[in-house]
Structure 1
Amino acid sequence: MSQAPVPAAPPAPERPLPTPTRDSQPFWDGMREGRFLLQHCSSCGKVRHYPRPVCSHCFSMESEFKEAPLGGSLHAWTACHHPFNFFFKASTPYIVALVDMDAGVRVNAQLHGVPESALKIGLRVKLGFEPVNKEVTLPVFVAE
């Protein structure tokens, strides 16, 4: 008597990754190099994040990327116990932080190495870099 075949394990979920655009590619190149590059309007100088083609202040389409400081303060956070994507299930609970960067923009990313009980508005954090593969490095926050 032959045994029934054992069903194959389902494929492991893939990590969702950003898809750089023409406007955001310099930001992602900077992340890969360990540099926090922010887009600045070439006409009025206003900094903007996320990268996009038109300045919301003066409507110029000219911009340049400049290196920015890595520090910031915690504006808000959420503890994720039920991940939006199965890839993150193994790392629950994890913290996603919204940070007021010293450079004048808000950035959201995972916060590593700080227990939820230690979180408070204004907590100083700094941007770090988490290489995922040869092409993609993601932002993460760590305690300053």
Structure 2
Amino acid sequence: MSTAPAAAPAPAPAPERPLPVPTRESQPFWDGMREGRFMLQHCAACGKVRHYPRPVCPHCFSMDSEFREAPQGGKIHAWTVCHHPFNFFFKAAAPYIVALVDMDAGGDVPVRVNAPLRGVAEADLEIGKRVRLGFEPVNKEVTLPFFVAE
């Protein structure tokens, strides 16, 4: 029997960042993100916006669509301060703010985007505050959205 002290256990590997998996329908949206453009899917039959991209229009059931570049500004609809992250990757960043934003691009169909809000103190948050979309390259394939105050 050895009396040498037991080796300390190896540290757990750092958690990986959760990333979206683009689909055939959402790939043009993610390509736009990578290019610094906010691309929204529009129904080719009725013209209504549908976000997040999906195969069938919820308004007229058409499967035909096209993507168009949209304005990157919007107003805060709601927000939450995450003290207990849903994923271990975000633990070091907690607390952080996630905003639900009514984008300027919606027309008669609201387009809401949920993303981190950076550079704004919780005390300065208010419904209707103007924000602008930012783009965070994560790797060669994925760029994620975030918001900053205008």
Query: TM-score with structure 2 length normalisation?
Result: 0.94
Residues 3-22 of structure 1 show CA distances to partners (whole Å, capped at 9, x for unaligned) of 42221100101110000001
Question: In structure 1, what is the equivalent of residue 119 of structure 2?
Answer: 113
Looking at structure 1, the residues matched to 120 and 141 of structure 2 have their Cα atoms a distance apart, in angstroms, of 27
Residues 51-99 of structure 1 show CA distances to partners (whole Å, capped at 9, x for unaligned) of 0000001100000000000010000000000000010000011000000
Percent identity over the alignment?
A: 79
Q: Which amino acid aligns with 2:28?
A: P
Looking at structure 2, the residues matched to 135 and 72 of structure 1 have their Cα atoms a distance apart, in angstroms, of 26
Aligned CA RMSD, in angstroms, stands at: 0.7
Question: In structure 2, what is the equivalent of residue 96 of structure 1?
Answer: 98
1:1-144 to 2 correspondences below 5 Å: 1-104=3-106, 105-144=111-150
Q: Which amino acid aligns with 1:71?
A: G
Larger Rg: 2
Q: Give structure 1 stretches of 5+ with no counterpart.
A: none
Count the aligned residue pairs.
Answer: 144
Q: Which amino acid aligns with 1:29?
A: D
Larger deviation, residues 38-47 vs 4-13: 4-13
Deviation at 1:35, TM superposition (A): 0.5
Query: TM-score with structure 1 length normalisation?
Result: 0.98
